[in-house]
Structure 1
């Protein structure tokens, strides 16, 4: 029987987190080996679990972490809205609790939101469309696709991981 390590364990699957988590690992007493084909990942800006009572606080924490970065105001606010929509979906549709990880990777900001809900039905993912004008709800994923440079989704009966990427602006000309 496996011992509990306190760390998440994955068996036979690849997640969105695996795709964007390109940490450089090193053995004790040795210099880290850097793969030239892979960019170095900067430290995590934010990593925290959340629930229903944390949505507003979490939105403000994401906003504070993005403020010093090279990201145009409208794009930054749109990205924060996309993050807010995804975490709200977790609270409403995926058991009420999740985890958010915000990091910089290769000139972009990535936000990974994970949950342990029942998964997103396929018809919501096949062709993400805006709902009808008078339909209540159903705009969260559509907004994320409109406001982010890339949206990745891995979903199934044991949970969902959604990655939201937005490229940082180029450095201003001197």
Structure 2
């Protein structure tokens, strides 16, 4: 386990720097690291804004990939937001966090319900050709 930390609104910047430092130490290249860090930032910001303000982040390396799992105890993500993760229209306010995570990460997992949400973000440590 690289990092296991509870967070709230005031912790977002420090947490983002901690995650970035760990990703650099495990060898994630700069381009993929920055994209992955953006996805992590979007998910933790969503927790603060939409899921009660507090969450937990666990960062680990498993099977050649970085895994970041973010959990909260909010009301869950509405099914309509998960059934088809799409880019929001230009005039829509918000709604880009999960879409960005799906664009930037190699894998995104989501478990959600009335007692909270857990989102897993996976990024392979090996440089992969851009197939998106």
Q: TM-score range by the shorter chain?
A: over 0.9
How far apart, CA to CA, are the structure 1 residues paired with 2:121 and 2:113?
18
* Aligned match for 2:41, one of 67, 84, 105: 84
Q: By how many angstroms is 1:118 displaced?
A: 0.3
Residue equivalent to 2:97:
140
Q: Deviations over 1:108-150 (max 9, x none)?
A: 0000000000000000000100000122211000000000000
Q: Which runs of 5+ in 1 are unaligned?
A: 1-43
CA distance, structure 2, for counterparts of residue 136 and residue 118 of structure 1: 20
What's 2:79 paired with?
A: 122
C-alpha separation in 2, matches of 1:157 and 1:68: 37
Alignment correspondent of 2:106: 149
Give TM-score scaled by structure 2 length: 0.94
Decide which of 25, 28, 50 is 1:93's aligned counterpart: 50
Q: Give the unaligned 5+ runs of structure 2.
A: 128-132
Q: CA RMSD in A?
A: 0.8
Equivalent residues, number: 127
Greater Cα radius of gyration, structure 1 or 2:
1
Question: Shift in Å at residue 156 of structure 1?
Answer: 0.2
Is the partner of 2:26 in helix, strand or coil? coil
Whichever structure has more helix as a proportion of its residues is 2
Pairs within 5 Å for 1:9-20: none
Deviating above 2 A after TM superposition, structure 1's stretches of 4 or more consecutive aligned residues are none
